[in-house]
Amino acid sequence: MQKNHERYLHRTASFIGGFAAMYTVMIRMNLGSSQTVNLLDLTHALLGRDIRQLLLRIIGVIIYGSSVFSATYLTKKGKVNTRLISAVLSITAFIIAGFLPAETDHCIALYPFFLSMSFMWVVYGNACEYASAPIFSTNNFRQTIGGIAEYLADHDKKALDKSKFYAGTLAVFTTGSIISYFTCIEFMEKAIFFGVIPCIALLAYELVPSVVSAKSKS
């Protein structure tokens, strides 16, 4: 039961990650789930002596890094439910992003995603004994292919199960990105409001164990 619950939460987070990824690429012209392109843009701005863009990129790095630090620290301390915080953070970030005008600087428009997606990565980055990022797909793709190769090489059923897990994550992430694509085509920058729906579902499903536990104690 616990394993199924963990898998559902991770799949929901992966759907949100896929939705946010496609939105940021299509509408804000960059992947808001990682820092790879932002760091490249930072280097470009530094070498090109574009002070404004350099400062904006540095702020982006600070936001992303601070969110990773906070999520990791709070998870280790164990005094607060960081998964609930992540869901609320994503809802808030998506709403803010939806109200940002289309002409907003692309880097600034990514700040809400730098904050929420990095936090989500930390708190939902492990499920069912597998390290799996719900906000982008490179490692999930590698693990899927690697698991298949391992199974064909030595017929280890654990490798096959691993491959199935990562393939499922990829499928859910891609589904979120497909739905995001069509909503972006239709609603442009306002499309991110639709991403609030799975965030609310994630929040609700996180609250289920707490409600059940409270009822059992009473």
What CA–CA distance (Å, rounded) separates 118 from 65? 8
Tens digits of residue pLDDT in 143-201: 999 999 999 999 999 999 999 999 999 999 999 999 999 999 999 999 999 999 999 99
- Digit-coded pLDDT (tens) for 167-180: 999 999 999 999 99
Range of the domain at 98: 2-132+177-206
Q: How many domains does the chain divide into?
A: 1
Say what the pTM is. 0.93
Query: Which residue ranges in the chain fall short of pLDDT 50?
Result: 211-218
Is residue 64 one of the residues assigned to a domain? yes
Residue 13 lies in a domain: yes
Phi and psi at residue 14, to the nearest 5°: -70, -40
Q: Does any domain span residue 121?
A: yes
User: What's the CA dihedral at 85, 87, 89, 94 to 10 degrees?
Assistant: 180
